[in-house]
Amino acid sequence: MKSNKEIKTKIFCDTADIKIIKQLNNNPLVNGFTTNPSLMKLFGAKNYKNYSKKILKICKKKSISFEVIADDFKQMEKQAYKIKSWGSNVYVKIPVTNSKGNSSAKVIKRLSDDGLKLNITAVYTLKQVKKIIKCVNKNSHTIISIFSGRMSDVGKDPIPIIKKSVKITKKMKKIKILWASTREAYNYTQAIDCKCDIITMPPNIIEKISKFGKSFERLTLDTVKTFYKDALSANFKI
């Protein structure tokens, strides 16, 4: 694996856990955060706006994405401007389609032309990536979140679409490709190999990659010690 200085792929943490955000906000390994309505619900948010602002009291400088919650495009657009007003470090997450499968392209174009920082989410195909690229203003900051882990969950290889997406956006300095729905620590290595701009991952995987570099010999010892400790504590007999 490359040295830290050679690695261009930035790490974001995918969470809405305020305690974790407090812990990781000053961690130099973590460059930003991503959230979504499901994570907000999981960590007990009762009021979406108020909970988001609690997070922003902690995360004042690093990039953070908050998602619109409307399904109607007019409401989606209104919410985008409200979310944008919460802070200069805020990216507004817009799903690539609504729940009916209708494209968000027109909304994305209007918001991007008006200079909003956007994170286009729930992206799975190269066709979607190309459509997003056509929609966004090249002078506005845009993240395209490709849900690699969920592709793997259904037996699809995300590597080809990530590589192609990185290639076609290479000269577009303000468009960044993000590896989303990270499932394991090795995805970080894969994202680096693909020259992906960003990978967002849950806190437990960030903890794992902070331990990268252990030798296989060390891993063997750690594994055997764990098995032995658990057998003793369970008082197993044969």
Residue 102, token pair as written in the block:
């209708």
* Host domain of residue 69: 10-233
pLDDT at 162 over 80: yes
Pairing between β-strand 118-123 and β-strand 32-34 as defined by DSSP bridges: unpaired
Q: Return mean pLDDT, the chain.
A: 96
CA nearest to 27, candidates 56, 55, 62, 57 = 62
Angle at CA 61, nearest 5°, toward 58 and 67?
Answer: 75
User: Is 238 a domain residue?
Assistant: no
Q: How many domains are contained in the chain?
A: 1
pTM (2 decimals)? Answer: 0.92
Residue 124 located in a structural domain: yes
Bridge partners for 65 per DSSP = 34, 91
Q: Is residue 1 part of a domain?
A: no
Nearest to 59 by CA among 33, 86, 95, 28: 33
- Is pLDDT at 221 greater than 90 in this prediction? yes
User: Is residue 168 a part of any domain in this protein?
Assistant: yes
Tell me the Ramachandran region of residue 187: left when phi exceeds 0, alpha when psi lies from -120 to 50, beta otherwise.
alpha
Residue 5 lies in a domain: no
* CA 77 vs CA 19, 47, 66, 82, 123: distances in Å: 31, 19, 14, 9, 19
Question: In the predicted model, is pLDDT for residue 4 greater than 70?
Answer: no
> Could you tell me the pLDDT band of residue 144, with boundaries at 50, 70 and 90?
very high
Instruction: Give the model confidence (pLDDT) of 52-104 as tens digits.
Output: 999 999 999 999 999 999 999 999 999 999 999 999 999 999 999 999 999 99
In a domain, 219, yes or no: yes
Report the CATH number that the domain containing residue 195 is assigned in CATH.
3.20.20.70
Q: Is residue 35 part of a domain?
A: yes
The residue to which tokens 């690093």 are assigned:
62
d(CA 94, CA 113): 14
The Cα 65–Cα 16 span in angstroms is 10
Q: Is residue 4 part of a domain?
A: no
State how far the Cα of 140 lies from the Cα of 104, in Å rounded to an integer: 17
Contacts (Cβ under 8 Å, ≥6 apart) of 92: 65, 66, 67, 68, 80, 83, 84, 111, 116, 117, 118, 119
Length of the chain: 238
Residues 6+ apart with CB under 8 A from 204: none
